[in-house]
Amino acid sequence: MFLKQFIAYPRCPENLQKLYQIAYNLWFTWNYEAINLFYRIDPELYRNSRYNPVKFLHGIPEDKLNALSRDEGFLFELEKVWSKFQDYLNYKTTFKCPLPCSIAYFSMEYGLHECLPIYAGGLGILAGDLLKGASDMDIPITGVGLL
């Protein structure tokens, strides 16, 4: 018997699409305003999803999403976080590689956030901090690990 695998995405109001784009980028892991935005929606559900915003957003009932799409205070905070996210994505540094390049960083584990349990201790935290720092400086780096 052949089973077909598929992923169902919840319907989301147009003015909340930015929330999903933030959730799918690791930038949220070191931006506390973005994390607080998820807490503001439903703190208990966010904790129960193990602080994973993607899993969290897929668990929010449709009526709650519709209510959020009409909440002026929430939309204001979302726009503020979105603006910082766009500034981050558009940041360009003076780092210039003489050739088109990307740096490969090999580590057994990366401590990026607790919702990504792919680290065990100090080495993982150090590797995660290195990736975050490289991202902040717009250095083209790719982390390569077991997972």
Chain segment 62-80, per-residue pLDDT in tens:
899 999 999 999 999 999 9
pLDDT of residue 121: 83
Q: In terms of residues, how long is the chain?
A: 147
Q: How far apart are CA 85 and CA 40, in angstroms?
A: 18
Across the range 50-55, mean pLDDT stands at: 93
Instruction: Write the CA distances from 142 to 70, 104, 132, integer angstroms.
Output: 39, 5, 11
Q: How far apart are CA 143 and CA 108, in angstroms?
A: 10
Top-confidence residue, 138 or 73: 73
* Domain definitions of the chain by residue range: 14-90, 103-144
Q: How confident is the model at residue 8 (pLDDT cuts 50, 70, 90)?
A: low
Top-confidence residue, 100 or 39: 39
The separation between CA 88 and the C-alpha centre of its own chain, rounded to angstroms, equals: 13
